[in-house]
Amino acid sequence: MSKQSRRTSRRDRPGRRRPVSGLDPLRVVVATSPSLSPDGPSIQHDVALVRSSILYADQVELLSPSAAMIGSVSDLAAGGRADLLALLMSLDDDTMRSLGGGDLPSEWRESIPAILAMGSLGDAEWDALEAQTGVTIPPEARAMGTVNSQLSQSVAELRLMAGGLVENSGAGELAPAIEAGLVIVSAAGIDRDNTDSMVTEFVQILKRHLMDPKVQLVFDDDIARLVRSMVDEGAVEPSGLSLVHAAEAAIGGGMIARLPAFPNTPLDELLDLRRDLDDPLARYRRSVAQMASTVRIRAFDPEMPAELDDIWRNHVDPALRDLREGLAQHGLVREVARSMTADVGNLVAAGAGASLSIGLFSIANLSSLVAAAAGLAVPGAAIGQRVANARQNQNAATNEAKVHDLFYLLELNRRSSGRD
């Protein structure tokens, strides 16, 4: 389980500010390939890409066969017996036989409602029916009562399996973002009849996104190779703007993923941070666009990860260090110290020395507190003015840092580290 959030509950916080009227939201599509772990399907690498994309985009769509499959199993389990029956009745005869159906009568689907109706009757009801009709109910009909209990057991087992699948795959971490409507899991062809048609549908969806200039695509390594192959072989021709947007998405999320505190921050806290930092995010996107304009390779080229490392090392990290150093130099204690250094001798000469020497632990009662306040009245006012001036200088330096294009990254890392 993730650590408890240090931030206010999402229910008590304002929703994300909507994009400016007439302007489409920045939409990122995260495309990933199926992945397996010893415990079954895994979307750990999907989650990592989605986490950083959420902090860069307005909307994130996850195009992932593994995530789609896990989602469909979870939906099926949540739907109960009716959905399970609907699924079974939608399967073809060969699939049903492979699941243990054996030799099925040609009208087996039509028989299901009657079987369920018989299965809902108990022995007392069968006895009453025999008494009213004079017809002896065969044991086979009475035995249909086991069908309902078997279905209920199947649903319980399915729910248990779905829970384990979500937990082991890492899909549970995306729940807060999906509930908030910030992440959508694409069907990704999961409703197709077989694996080949699923793959075909997935590729077609990917091609549409590649040609959509309003989408910013993010790839894992396997999908990057697939896209590179399709583009180089002429199977798809992305628009020029799509290529630019893919580079922006790679940089925008890639720099966030490199923040030291980012990997260990629960997703619900990241969502709260994102809501708090709309204005810094807008300026960060401006910087991302500028950085992307200098990139000479495509987002799906194998050199892109190294390019992201170079951008972090040569541009982003030095800028963040400068910002941190500048803010540290304008910390309140340092500002007060700078202001008071020249006048400390005069303060002592004015008699403040004896009053200032009264430590916190020597103030044992109210009378001594009053005496200390009286002794500090005149020099204390001078000190107070210097503290006020120092605070003003500190605020000015902070405001200057806040309008820096990379302040968003600095603040994300600071808050994620628990230094609110």
Cβ neighbours around 16 below 10 Å, total: 16
Give the CA distances from residue 324 to residues 258, 286, 393, 404, 407, in Å, rounded to whole numbers and listed in that order: 17, 21, 16, 12, 10
Strands 215-219 and 183-185: unpaired
If asked whether residues 271 and 195 sit together in one domain, one would say yes
Q: Which residue, 348, 376, 373, is CA-closest to 363?
A: 373
Please say whether the beta carbons of 213 and 182 come within 8 A. no
184 and 297 in a single domain? The answer is: yes
pLDDT value of position 333 = 43
155, 178, 200: which is the final residue of a domain? 155
293 and 219 within one domain = yes
Token digits of residue 262: 């980012």
Half-sphere exposure for 256 (CA within 13 Å, toward CB): 29
Bridge partners (DSSP) listed for residue 63 = 31
381-389 contact pairs (CB < 8 A, 24+)? 382/343, 382/347, 383/340, 383/347, 386/336, 386/339, 386/340, 386/343, 387/332, 387/336, 387/339, 389/335, 389/339
Cβ partners under 8 Å of residue 183, min gap 6 = 50, 54, 60, 61, 62, 174, 177
Residue after which a domain boundary falls, among 285, 303, 321: 303
Check whether residue 124 and residue 251 sit in a common domain.
Answer: no
Structural domain boundaries enclosing 287: 23-77+168-303
pLDDT at 357 (0 to 100): 38
Cα separation, 16 vs 50, in Å, equals: 17
Domain boundary among 303, 324, 348: 303
Please count the residues of the chain.
420
Q: Which two tokens stand for residue 198?
A: 């699923």
User: What does R_g of the chain's alpha carbons equal in angstroms?
Assistant: 32
Q: Is residue 98 located within the same domain as residue 125?
A: yes
Q: Measured on CA atoms in the order 333, 334, 339, 344, is the torsion positive or negative? A: positive
**Per-block mean pLDDT, blocks of 10 residues, the chain (420 long):** 41 46 85 81 88 94 87 68 64 61 67 69 79 80 69 70 74 84 80 73 92 94 95 93 95 95 85 86 95 94 96 95 79 44 45 38 43 47 48 55 88 77
Q: Does residue 59 sit in the same domain as residue 183?
A: yes
The distance of Cα 196 from the centroid of its chain, to the nearest Å, equals 30
Name, in order, each residue with C-beta under 8 angstroms of 301's C-beta and a sequence gap of 6 or more: 224, 228
Q: Same domain, yes or no, for 376 and 339?
A: yes
Tokens of 284: 């960060």
Provide the domain count of the chain.
Answer: 3
Domain identity same for 70 and 110: no
Residues 58, 190 share a domain: yes
Residue 271 lies in a domain: yes
Show Cβ contacts of residue 55 under 8 Å, excluding neighbours closer than 6 positions.
Answer: 253, 256, 270, 273, 274, 281, 412
Quickly count: other Cβ atoms within 10 Å of residue 307's Cβ.
19
Query: CA–CA distance from 54 to each of 100, 254, 278, 322, 413 (Å)?
Result: 44, 12, 12, 26, 15
Q: Residue 402: what pLDDT?
A: 83
The pLDDT score that the predictor gives to residue 101 is: 55
Kindly state whether residues 250 and 296 are assigned to the same domain.
yes
* Tokens encoding 340: 């008071």
Amino acid at site 6: R
Looking at the structure, do residues 172 and 247 belong to the same domain, yes or no? yes
